[in-house]
Structure 1
Amino acid sequence: MKVLFCYRYGVIGGVSTQLLNRYTHFSAEFEIGVLYESDHGMVAHFPPGVARVAATDDAREAAIRDVQPDVLVVIDSPSFLTAWQRAGAPGSLILEVHTTTANLSYLGDLAVQPDHIVTVSEYMRGKLGALGLSPISVVPNCLDERWYAETVPPALGSSPVAWIGKLDGHKRWRAAADLLDRIAAARPGVTPLLVGGYTAPVSEVSALTTKLATSPALGSARWLPRVDYDMMPALYSAIGANGGLTVSTTTDESFGMSVAEALVRGCPVIAPAVGALPEILPEEALYPPGAYAEAADKALRALSDAGFRAALMSTAQLVRERTHTEYALAAFRNVLQRSAKSAKVA
C-alpha cells in the first residue's frame, strides 16, 4: 500500500520530525512517501527518494498523479487538498490535524469530505469533535529508536534550565526569556539555554539577542538556533543528568512532543496546564497558564529537591509506552483498515 504524507514545511521539529520518527517502522509495512511545500533541511534526513518538495499547485498535482497513492494523508496543509482533487482524487483521503492555532479554520470550509480524521491526543479528539468532524481516531506522536539509545552525559559544571521551541507567539518565547531571567536571577550559577529559532524572522532574532545582551541575569545564557535532530536525545540527557530541567511557556499543545522527548530522556519538565500536556505530565509539573512566578518557583525547587524531581518524572514510563513507534503503527494500521478504499491492509 502506498501512503503519501503531505505537509507544508520540511523543518526539523514538530510534524516533520514526527514523519521521520514514524518512517522506520511504518515503511516496513507500507510504501511511504513524504511531500513538502518547502524544505528547510528535512528532506535529506529521509532515505533518497522518500521525501521531496512540490512548491507550486501544479507541482503538487503532478507529484500526486505520479505517486497515485492508495492513501493520501494531508497534515494541516489545505493546499494539498486542491491538488489531490485536480489529480483525480486517487485513493483514500485522511486529514491529520496537529495544529491548535487559527490554522484550524480551514476545517470549517472543506470542499471535500475526508474518509477519516486523525489527531494525536484525546484533547484534540474533543476539540475536533466539537467542530462536528467525524470519524476521528487518535494516533499518538512517537519516538524512534534513537531516543532509547544509551548515551554518557558529560559533566557540564552547571545545571542548564532550557526552553525549546520556535521564536513565535504560540510558544511565547518572550515569556520564556523572562522566566529564564527570573530563575537565573534567583539561582546564580544555572545556565539558561534557549534552543530553536533557525527559521525565525530577523525581527524576532534581533529581539531575542537584545534581551540576552541587556539582561544581567542572562549573561551566561546560551542560544542554539538549531540542533541537529540526532543530537537532541543526548542534549536532553545532559540537561537532566546535570540537575537541570526544561521549561515550557506554550499557549496550547496538541500533544507536547518536546515535553515527551524530555521525559523519555530523564529530563524533568515544568509546563503550563494547557492542551494535551495534562495527559502526559504529572500535576506537580503543571502551572496555571500565565502564572510565571509559580513556574519559576517550581523550576527552582526542581533544581534542589531530589524528591520533587522524582515526582516530576513520575509519568515517564507512561510516556515511553505511549510514544513507542509500535503503538503508533498499530493505531495507524487500524485507521487504514477503516478508511482504505483501493488496497488491502496487512
Structure 2
Amino acid sequence: MKFLYAYRYGIVGGVSTQLLLRQRAMCQQGHQCDLFFSQDNGLAGVLSGRQGVYFGADHSYRSLVRQGAYDHVVVIDTPELLSQSFPAWWQPSRQVWLDVHTTTVNGLAYLNHLDARRLAGVMVPTHYSAALVAKRLSGITPHVLPNVLDLEAFPLSSEHEHEDAAVGVRHFIWVGKLDAHKNWRLALIYAHMLKELFGSVQFTMVGGYTASTETGEALFALAGKLGLLDTLRWIDRIDNQALAALYRQCGDSGGAMLVTSRDESFGMAAAEALMCGCPLITNDLPVFREVFPNSDMIRRVDIWQPEQFERAAKALPVAPDQEACRHIYEHLSSTYGPEAFMVALNAALEA
C-alpha cells in the first residue's frame, strides 16, 4: 500500500522525527510511505537526500496528492492540508485520516470546527489523547497507534562508562521547544536549585532551533539572573547519537532529565532518556502514567511545589541501577517498537 503523511512543521525532533520513524517501520514491511511538510524548520538540512520526503506550499501538496496515487493520506494537526486531501469526484478514491498529536487547548481548537464525516478515522498516540479528542469529536472513537521509538539510536548499554563523566559533576538535561508549554523558564529555576543542592552541576538545554532572537536573549538573561551562565549549555539542535551520549552522561553522573511540560501527548524525549539509563524528574503528567511503568528511575512531582522537586533531586542514585535500566528498556522497546506500531496500524486499517 501507498501512504502519505502530511504535517505543517518540518522540525528536528517532535512529530517530524516520529514520522521519519514511522516511515522506516512501514517501508520495512513492504509499504511505500512518503512524508510532506509545508514548512522546513531545519529538517531538510539533516536528511541527507532521504527519499520520499517532500517540502512545499499548498500547491505542491495538491500536486503530490493528485499524482501520488496514495491509498491512505494521514494528516497530523494541519487543517489546511486536511481540507486539500480529499479526492475530487473524478479522482481515484483514497482514505483520508486525521492524526492528532497536540494536547493543548489552542492546538485542539480546530477539532471544534471539523466535519469528521468524510474521514476514514482518527488516530492518536495514546489513550490519554484519545479521550481529549473524543470530547471534541462527537461519535468518534480514535484509533490508538503508539509512537515508534528509535531502538537503534537509543540502545541499552551493557555497561556504563563512569570515567566519561567529570568526577563530582552531576549532569542534567532538559529537552524541548523554548515555549510556555514546555515551561523552559521553570526548568532554569530548578537548575538553580540543583546547583545549590549539589554545588557542581552541568545543565544542558536541547531544543529551540526555531526560537526567536528575543527568546534566546531571554534565556540567557534569566540564566544570568540565576547565576547559571557557568552551568548552562544550550544546544538548539542535535543528532540522536550525540543526544544519547548526553543522556548516558546524565545517568552515569547521578543526574537526570527534567520534564517541566504542562502536558504531553506521549513523551518521546523522556522515553529516549530512560532507554539510555537517564532517570527523570518529571511533572506528574497523566500520559506518563500510561506510557511508562512504575520505576525508581521516574520521580514524579508537582512541578509547582519546589519542595517536591527538591526531595526528588536528593533521592537520585549516584550511579545507575542496572536492573532498573534493563527493566524499563525492555518494557519500552517491546511496547513502542516498530512491530507494535505496525500491529496497531493494521488493526486501524482493517477496522
Tell me, yes or no, whether TM beats 0.5: yes
Indicate conservation of the 8 Å contact 1:161/1:192, yes or no: yes
Query: Which residue of structure 2 aligns with residue 148 of structure 1?
Result: 155
Indicate conservation of the 8 Å contact 1:161/1:190, yes or no: yes
Query: Which residue of structure 1 aligns with residue 79 of structure 2?
Result: 78
Q: Which has the higher contact order (CA 8 A, sep 6+)?
A: 1
Q: What letter is aligned with 2:171?
A: P
Query: Which residue of structure 2 aligns with residue 186 of structure 1?
Result: 197
> CA separation of 1:103/1:306 partners in 2, compared to 1, >3 Å: closer, same or farther?
closer
How does 1:208-219 map onto structure 2 within 5 Å?
Answer: 208-219=219-230
Could you report, residue by residue, the CA deviation over 1:17-43 in whole angstroms, capped at 9, with x for unpaired residues? 111222222112210000001112323
Is 1:130 the counterpart of 2:135? The answer is: yes
Query: Which residue of structure 2 aligns with residue 170 of structure 1?
Result: 181
Q: What letter is aligned with 1:298?
A: A
Indicate conservation of the 8 Å contact 2:156/2:326, yes or no: no
* CA distance in structure 2 between the aligned counterparts of 1:180 and 1:133, rounded to whole angstroms: 45
Identity %: 29
Q: What letter is aligned with 1:176?
A: A
Could you report, residue by residue, the CA deviation over 1:225-254 in whole angstroms, capped at 9, with x for unpaired residues? 111234322221222122221011000011
* CA distance in structure 1 between the aligned counterparts of 2:342 and 2:251, rounded to whole angstroms: 29
Q: Greater shift after overlay, 121-130 or 164-173?
A: 121-130
How does 1:74-113 map onto structure 2 within 5 Å?
Answer: 74-85=75-86, 90-101=93-104, 102-113=106-117
Q: Greater shift after overlay, 101-110 or 81-90?
A: 81-90
Instruction: Calculate the TM-score normalised by the size of structure 2.
Output: 0.88
Indicate conservation of the 8 Å contact 2:3/2:73, yes or no: yes
* CA distance in structure 2 between the aligned counterparts of 1:218 and 1:186, rounded to whole angstroms: 17
* CA distance in structure 1 between the aligned counterparts of 2:124 and 2:176, rounded to whole angstroms: 21
Aligned residues: 336
* CA distance in structure 1 between the aligned counterparts of 2:121 and 2:303, rounded to whole angstroms: 33
Q: Report the 3-state secondary structure (helix = DSSP H, G, I; strand = E; otherwise coil) of the residue aligned with 2:97.
A: strand
* CA distance in structure 2 between the aligned counterparts of 1:316 and 1:149, rounded to whole angstroms: 7
Indicate conservation of the 8 Å contact 1:39/1:53, yes or no: yes
Q: Report the 3-state secondary structure (helix = DSSP H, G, I; strand = E; otherwise coil) of the residue aligned with 1:104.
A: helix
How does 1:1-346 map onto structure 2 within 5 Å?
Answer: 1-28=1-28, 29-43=30-44, 44-45=46-47, 48-55=50-57, 57-85=58-86, 90-101=93-104, 102-113=106-117, 114-131=119-136, 132-144=138-150, 145-148=152-155, 155-157=164-166, 158-279=169-290, 280=292, 282=294, 285-304=299-318, 315-338=328-351
> CA separation of 1:90/1:118 partners in 2, compared to 1, >3 Å: closer, same or farther?
same
Q: Report the 3-state secondary structure (helix = DSSP H, G, I; strand = E; otherwise coil) of the residue aligned with 1:319.
A: helix
Indicate conservation of the 8 Å contact 1:274/1:289, yes or no: no
Q: Greater shift after overlay, 213-222 or 311-320?
A: 311-320
Q: What letter is aligned with 2:259?
A: S
Q: What letter is aligned with 1:188?
A: G
Could you report, residue by residue, the CA deviation over 1:70-105 in whole angstroms, capped at 9, with x for unpaired residues? 100001111111211376584101111110011111
Q: Report the 3-state secondary structure (helix = DSSP H, G, I; strand = E; otherwise coil) of the residue aligned with 2:65.
A: helix
Deviation at 1:121, TM superposition (A): 1.0
Q: Greater shift after overlay, 68-77 or 206-215?
A: 206-215
Deviation at 1:305, TM superposition (A): 7.9
* CA distance in structure 1 between the aligned counterparts of 2:284 and 2:195, rounded to whole angstroms: 23
Q: What letter is aligned with 1:134?
A: I
Gaps of 5+ in 2: none
Q: What letter is aligned with 1:256?
A: G
Output the aligned Cα RMSD.
Answer: 2.5
* CA distance in structure 2 between the aligned counterparts of 1:89 and 1:174, rounded to whole angstroms: 50
Indicate conservation of the 8 Å contact 2:252/2:319, yes or no: no
Instruction: Calculate the TM-score normalised by the size of structure 1.
Output: 0.89
Query: Which residue of structure 2 aligns with residue 344 of structure 1?
Result: none
Deviation at 1:49, TM superposition (A): 3.3
